[in-house]
């Protein structure tokens, strides 16, 4: 694990500001430490010599209060920086996932990403509030205090200089062993989250087949594995803390013994000896604390590494387009969150034909057709020939060979939301009102537009203000499907130049409702819409203008 990953400074501006603030606080803490040791030495030697020490005591109280204030300011700044950095990284992660597209997301664990963006980035508190300040303090305070010791008593400074490197050496050795178990612990936590999410999503099916108990046992086994991995991390943490304390104590003891013998021999004054002895533990303290806080910060750092992998993946294609001379690409050299600007949708003239030539997804047969405004293009064929895969390719959820253009512009260079209004076989409803689900993407959905979309989707009897549960619970399968179709119709109504693509929109509908839906789609096409319809129902042929028949798998 790198002490400070350069990508953190690149993707999170709050981290850069906090690093600068930590440096300023570190300088102030170093000055206060030296001054406190000097004033304490003056007070002790003055008391032994019979001099008045009230002034020194006042200074000591003021310096102690100032040191406490600096520590409090550092903690507060660290907590605030952790919150701001977490928010910036979450925003960058969401933007990166949006740029990478549904095709990339389909190959990743969504529950794992959720754990990284939630629990993982929340663990940055320890990293910012405790680890980074001690790391910065080590860089600033340790060499300064070592130089002051050498200046006042070079034998003590030499002893500290020889023994000090042993602490980071042991820290590196222990850290190399710790990294493996910490990464394993983090992966186990992600696996536990994925297993739990999958179990909850399929709980009704598991209960139906009597496998709910087995699923619960597997979750329990994973949770127990996470407990064991956590205990391993704690063991390494205690071992690291013990090693750091032992080495630092031995080093300070060597310095103290040397000072003691030289004081007895008269080779060293009490004032110098006491001053150096007070500085010795302060010299070793920051690097000891780095070792202690290393483990507390490891979980947050592991989460940021996962975030950086996603952000780097999103930035890499942009750099490639930029280097190849693509005017639509921007590098991330501006120091922002790594956001790459998509090909400008303004370059697409609204409307135009959707032309697909030789489009091939994986090992499926290539497909070619042209969908024109004012027509319904029916994509039909037996199950498994690639009807849904074709729509997945158009909306960026699957890579494909061949070309697909809308108005002469390659769809791969356009955000799908700009040119496509889509409803899939799975409704993908969210908790909230029906209106919020229909107007998904609008902060304030148009009430009249929502009602018109529901009516066009044959769901006019549903109350837009009705609250839905998680994943749209509270509706029948047909109702959920009609709301998904209404969402696509609502989006298409907001911009009629969009292509309206529906994947088996009537699979859960009765014949009468299906006929009403076909009439609604026909009316939409007669009004100038470009409609792509995937359906295995024969009744769909009655409203279609063009047919794309996909054969058996090659």
Weakest mean pLDDT among 77-91, 126-140, 202-216, 285-299 = 285-299
For 449-508, the pLDDT digits (tens) are 999 999 998 888 888 888 887 777 777 888 888 899 999 999 988 888 889 999 888 887
Taking the alpha carbons of 229, 234, 240, 243 in that order, is the dihedral positive or negative? Answer: negative
Rounded Cα–Cα distance for residues 65 and 70 (Å): 9
Rounded Cα–Cα distance for residues 258 and 252 (Å): 10
pLDDT at 113 over 80: no
Asked if 280 contacts 254 with a C-beta cutoff of 8 angstroms, the reply is: no
Range ranked top by mean pLDDT from 96-100, 305-309, 452-456: 452-456
What does residue 502 show for φ and ψ, rounded to 5 degrees? -125, 130
Asked if 345 contacts 415 with a C-beta cutoff of 8 angstroms, the reply is: yes
Averaged pLDDT, 371-394: 87
**What pLDDT was estimated at residue 348?**
52
What does residue 5 show for φ and ψ, rounded to 5 degrees? -70, 125
**What pLDDT was estimated at residue 376?**
92
**What pLDDT was estimated at residue 22?**
86
pLDDT at 188 over 90: no
**What pLDDT was estimated at residue 322?**
41
Residue ranges and CATH numbers for the domains of the chain are 6-321 (1.20.1560.10), 346-549 (3.40.50.300)
Range ranked top by mean pLDDT from 77-91, 367-381, 414-428: 367-381
pLDDT band at 321 (very low <50, low <70, confident <90, very high): very low
For 213-252, the pLDDT digits (tens) are 888 888 888 888 888 887 877 777 777 777 777 877 888 8
Alpha helices in 153-269 (DSSP H): 154-163, 166-201, 203-208, 212-265
pLDDT at 389 over 80: yes
**What pLDDT was estimated at residue 65?**
93
- pTM for the full model? 0.61
**Number of residues that make up the chain:** 554
pLDDT at 169 over 50: yes
Weakest mean pLDDT among 67-71, 360-364, 529-533 = 360-364
Percentage of the chain modeled with pLDDT above 70: 86
- Angstrom CA distances, 236 to 178, 232, 233, 240, stand at 6, 6, 5, 6
Averaged pLDDT, 392-421: 85
Averaged pLDDT, 166-173: 71
pLDDT band at 192 (very low <50, low <70, confident <90, very high): confident
CA quadruple 538, 541, 546, 549: dihedral, nearest 10: 10
pLDDT band at 328 (very low <50, low <70, confident <90, very high): very low
**What pLDDT was estimated at residue 217?**
83
pLDDT band at 103 (very low <50, low <70, confident <90, very high): low
pLDDT at 106 over 70: no
**Helix axes 132-152 and 270-323, enclosed angle (nearest 10):** 140
Run of H or E residues at 121: helix 121-122
pLDDT at 267 over 80: yes
pLDDT band at 299 (very low <50, low <70, confident <90, very high): low
Q: How high is the mean pLDDT of the chain?
A: 80
């Amino acid at each position: 694990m790198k002490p400070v990953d350069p990508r953190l400074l690149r993707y999170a501006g709050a981290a850069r500001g906090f690093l600068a603030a930590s440096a300023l606080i570190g300088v102030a803490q170093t000055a206060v430490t030296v001054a406190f040791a000097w004033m304490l030495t003056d007070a002790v030697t003055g008391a032994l010599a019979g001099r008045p020490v009230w002034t020194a005591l006042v200074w000591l109280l003021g310096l102690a209060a100032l040191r406490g204030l600096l520590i409090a300011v550092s903690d507060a700044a660290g907590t605030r920086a952790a919150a701001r950095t977490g928010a910036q990284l979450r925003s960058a992660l969401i933007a990166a996932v949006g740029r990478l597209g549904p095709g990339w997301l389909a190959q990743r664990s969504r529950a794992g990403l959720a754990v990284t963006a939630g629990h993982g980035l929340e663990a940055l508190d320890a990293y910012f509030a405790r680890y980074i300040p001690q790391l910065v303090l080590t860089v600033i305070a340790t060499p300064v205090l070592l130089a002051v010791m050498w200046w006042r008593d070079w034998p003590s400074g030499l002893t500290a200089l020889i023994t000090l490197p042993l602490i980071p050496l042991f820290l590196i050795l222990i850290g190399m062993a710790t990294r493996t178990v910490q990464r394993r612990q983090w992966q186990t936590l992600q696996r536990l989250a994925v297993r739990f999410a999958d179990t909850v999503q399929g709980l009704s099916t598991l209960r139906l087949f009597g496998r709910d108990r087995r699923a619960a046992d597997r979750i329990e086994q994973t949770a127990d594995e996470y407990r064991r991995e956590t205990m391993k991390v704690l063991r390494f943490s205690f071992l690291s803390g013990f090693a750091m304390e032992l080495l630092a104590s031995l080093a300070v003891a060597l310095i103290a013994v040397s000072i003691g013998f030289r004081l007895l021999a008269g080779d060293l004054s009490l004032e110098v000896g006491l001053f150096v002895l007070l500085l010795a533990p302060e010299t070793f303290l920051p690097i000891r604390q780095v070792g202690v806080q290393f483990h507390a910060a490891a979980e947050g750092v592991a989460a940021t590494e996962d975030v950086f992998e996603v952000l780097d993946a999103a930035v890499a294609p942009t750099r490639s387009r930029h280097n190849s001379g693509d005017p639509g690409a921007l590098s991330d050299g501006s120091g922002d969150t790594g956001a790459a600007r998509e090909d400008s949708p303004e370059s697409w003239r609204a409307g135009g034909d959707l032309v697909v030539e030789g489009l091939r997804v994986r090992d499926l047969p290539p497909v070619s057709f042209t969908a024109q405004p004012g027509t319904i293009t029916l994509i039909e064929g037996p199950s498994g020939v690639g009807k849904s895969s074709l729509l997945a390719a158009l909306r960026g959820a699957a890579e494909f060979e061949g070309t697909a253009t809308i108005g002469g512009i390659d769809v791969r260079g356009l955000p799908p939301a700009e040119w496509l209004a889509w409803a899939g076989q799975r409704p993908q409803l969210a908790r909230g009102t029906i209106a919020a689900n229909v107007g998904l993407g609008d902060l304030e959905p148009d009430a009249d537009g929502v009602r018109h979309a529901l009516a066009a989707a044959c769901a006019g009897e549903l109350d837009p203000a009705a609250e839905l549960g998680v994943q749209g619970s509270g509706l029948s399968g047909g109702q959920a499907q009609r709301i998904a179709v209404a969402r696509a119709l609502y989006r298409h109504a907001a911009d009629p130049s969009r292509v309206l693509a529906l994947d088996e929109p009537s699979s859960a509908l009765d014949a009468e409702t299906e006929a009403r839906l076909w009439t609604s789609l026909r009316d939409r096409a007669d009004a100038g819409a470009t409609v792509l319809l995937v359906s295995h129902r024969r009744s769909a042929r009655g409203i279609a203008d063009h047919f794309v028949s996909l054969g058996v798998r090659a």
